[in-house]
A and B are shown apart, each in its own frame.
Chain A
Amino acid sequence: MTTQLKIESHMEGQYAAVLSLSGEVDVANVARVREAALKLLERQIKRLIVDLSNVEYMDSSGLGALVALLKRVRESGGQMPLAGAKPRVRRLFEITGLDQIFSLHEDVPAALKEGE
């Protein structure tokens, strides 16, 4: 029994990367998200865009991982905008107040413009 989660990433120029998540992010697979993001951060990028547009379900395990990543990115002077969260996922940010902490964008192109 495997919770379906697909993780893809690509560079956008020299200093930005997009981490795209698809499926469900929960306690059983969140370590994979953390691992993939940390691998991208090793490239000394300044902006990590997390594409949530294909995430169908996320719980506080996913939120916690994103908070930890945001903390790490900010400590190195970078940005970590989020893109494309569906209403149910966006609700999770809203009820925890994290919509005030994260920069939430409609889609990846909008998130890429942040800080330009």
Chain B
Amino acid sequence: MMEEAASGRVELRIPRQAQFVRVARLAACALAAQLDFTYDVVKDIELAVAEACTNAVEHAVARPAGGRGKAAPAQALGAVADDGCDEIVVRFASDSQQLVVEVIDRGQGFDPRAVEELELEGERLGGLGLMVIRQVMDEVDIECDEQTGTCVRMVKYRAREGR
């Protein structure tokens, strides 16, 4: 499932199913722990990876046949898309300055603008998963493309570790 490439890069592919999010987050925890992050930062990275994968599972919509067009809603959690977009790719790359994690959903992916916002007594709480990611990582960038899917790119600076 996990293959190691040159220069500190690791790529993990998991089925786009809720029960496999745990695999990605435990891998993130193990990889971050090999770097010189503190325990709390390691757990933050673990959480961010889990949230990005959860978004891919919960909000992903299957890419319509033929590419562009009206997307069909994903089936219930645990369902597997039938268009070859049934996996989440998690890429880790580290150097002396930072750890970069990319969570890529090759289906149509989730649209961060369409993530359901929680509301309590009239107060909008926002999409909690994205809020968590933005709070615990140093840089977050989300790219959505109907053709290529969604990539959540997260960076944690090693130099700022422990802040």
Residues in A lying within 8 Å of B, measured CB to CB: 1-3, 24, 26-28, 59-61, 63-64, 67-68, 70-71, 74, 88, 92, 95-98, 101
Asked whether, in the complex, the Cβ of B77 is within 8 Å of the Cβ of A27, the reply is yes
Main secondary structure of the interface of A (DSSP, over half): helix
Asked whether B125 lies within 8 Å of A98 as measured between CB atoms, the reply is: yes
7 interchain residue pairs of minimum CB distance: A60-B128, A95-B135, A28-B18, A60-B129, A28-B19, A27-B54, A27-B18
Residue of B23, B77, B129 near A1 (CB, 8 A) is B23
Interchain Cβ contacts within 8 Å, total number = 67
Interface size in chain B (residues, C-beta < 8 A): 25
- Shortest CB-to-CB span from A51 to chain B, Å, is 21
Known: A28-B22, A59-B51. A96 touches B58 (CB 8 A): no
Q: Which of A3, A27, A92, A97 contacts B58 (CB 8 A)?
A: A27
Of A59, A61, A63, A64, the most chain B CB neighbours within 10 A belong to A59
CA distance A92 to B129 in the complex (A): 10
Smallest beta-carbon distance B48→chain A, Å: 10
Q: Assess A1 versus B136: contact at CB under 8 Å? Given A61-B54, A96-B125, A101-B120.
A: no
